Amino acid sequence: MSIIWFLLLISVVLILYGGVRLTRSGDMIAEKTGIGRAWVGLVIIAFATTLPELVTSISAICLVKEPDLAAGNCFGTMAFNLLLVTFIDLFGGKRVLRGEMNRGLLLSGCLIIVLLFIIQFSMFSWRFYPIARFSLWKSDPTSFFIIIIYFLTTRMIFIYGKQTIPYQEASVRAECEGYTLGKSLSLYGISALLVLVGGVLLAKTANRIAIETGIGQTFIGSTLVGITTSLPEMVVAFSAVRLGALEMVIGNVLGANLFNLIIVALCDFFYRQGILLKSIELNHSITMVMVVIMTGVVLLGQYYHFKKGS
């Protein structure tokens, strides 16, 4: 067990360091290409910080054949990300939930709630109304729907997200000036490789911990794996608060949570032993209900302050 915990520590370090460098290099690429800051926060930065969840969940499906570990990682990470926003708002010394969310962020938050309800409906219908269900290429039609809606929504976010998410300060722009686009892409690739290695190692060690300790895959995925793969989001959130880019905190969290639902759909495509939403335990619905409530609280807090300010 000591070796397993040591390997887990190594995987966490790789994910943390690689995730942080992915975030910085992704922002450098955005600076060099002239992509808008709103798009950076909701899509590019969110993708960069969610890469550990992507690699870990796909590894759990393809390598250790544990769908509950993959699903628990996605849903547990979503809950931890929202909990992170709450702690920053309460103890960070600055009000994050203060009504500065633009329409693109509101749209992504509402979409997360709707998609979570659809996923839960599919989970229960596969078990209690299987006659009414059908699969496409051994995958749930819900997975195709999630991916299509994601790309349509990100386009809408790009159109309606008029505000720019403030992320960079002068020192960060100065650092970007020392990097060419090619160097930024190289840094991005190296960082992605570190996250890839860390994610594969994390999936294997988490599976071994679940076997050795007798703890279920659902619990391990929703807690241990979910928290460790959320480390990049945590680093980005605290950095954004320190720089005063409070909207970036919510933008990154909602963007990352939205991409986590894409990971669930991708896991369904890679899981060839059956339908993912039919194979995972119903206990995951508890975590999803928590995420729905927490997302709703964030959105209501933004709406309340917006109406109060107006």
What gap in Å lies between CA 286 and CA 289, rounded to an integer? 5
Q: Which CATH number fits domain 2-309: 1.10.1760.20, 3.40.50.620, 1.20.1420.30, 3.40.250.10?
A: 1.20.1420.30
pLDDT of residue 137: 79
pLDDT tens figures, 182-219: 888 888 889 888 887 887 787 678 767 777 777 766 67
* Cβ-based neighbours of 182, under 8 Å, separated by 6 or more: none
Q: Give the 3-state DSSP-derived string for 96-113, with helices as H, strands as E and coil as C.
A: CCCCCCCHHHHHHHHHHH
Report which of 224, 234, 229, 230 is spatially closest to residue 200, judged by C-alpha positions.
229
Check residues 164 and 104 and name the one with the higher pLDDT. 104
**Inter-residue contact 134 to 125 (CB < 8 Å):** no
> Does the structure show a pLDDT above 50 at 165?
no
What gap in Å lies between CA 285 and CA 167, rounded to an integer? 34
Report which of 112, 108, 189 is spatially closest to residue 156, judged by C-alpha positions.
108
The stretch 298-302 carries a mean pLDDT of 76
Backbone phi and psi for residue 139, each to the nearest 5 degrees, phi listed first: -130, 155
- Split at pLDDT 50, 70, 90, the class of 59 is confident
pLDDT tens figures, 247-276: 667 777 888 899 999 999 999 999 988 889
What gap in Å lies between CA 151 and CA 160, rounded to an integer? 14
What gap in Å lies between CA 265 and CA 3, rounded to an integer? 33
**Inter-residue contact 298 to 108 (CB < 8 Å):** no
Q: Amino acid identity, residue 294? A: M
Backbone phi and psi for residue 282, each to the nearest 5 degrees, phi listed first: -70, -15
pLDDT of residue 112: 93
Percentage of the chain lying above the pLDDT 70 cut: 71
**The model's pTM:** 0.78
**Inter-residue contact 260 to 113 (CB < 8 Å):** no
The sign of the torsion formed by the CA atoms of 45, 50, 52, 55 equals negative
User: In the chain, which ranges are continuous DSSP H helix?
Assistant: 2-33, 37-39, 45-62, 67-91, 103-128, 141-160, 170-177, 181-213, 217-220, 226-228, 231-243, 246-270, 276-279, 284-309
pLDDT of residue 131: 64
What gap in Å lies between CA 222 and CA 68, rounded to an integer? 9
- Split at pLDDT 50, 70, 90, the class of 302 is low
Backbone phi and psi for residue 165, each to the nearest 5 degrees, phi listed first: -75, 120
- Between CA 84 and CA 248, with CA 289 as vertex, the angle to 5 degrees is 30
The sign of the torsion formed by the CA atoms of 181, 32, 149, 306 equals positive
- Between CA 108 and CA 275, with CA 136 as vertex, the angle to 5 degrees is 80
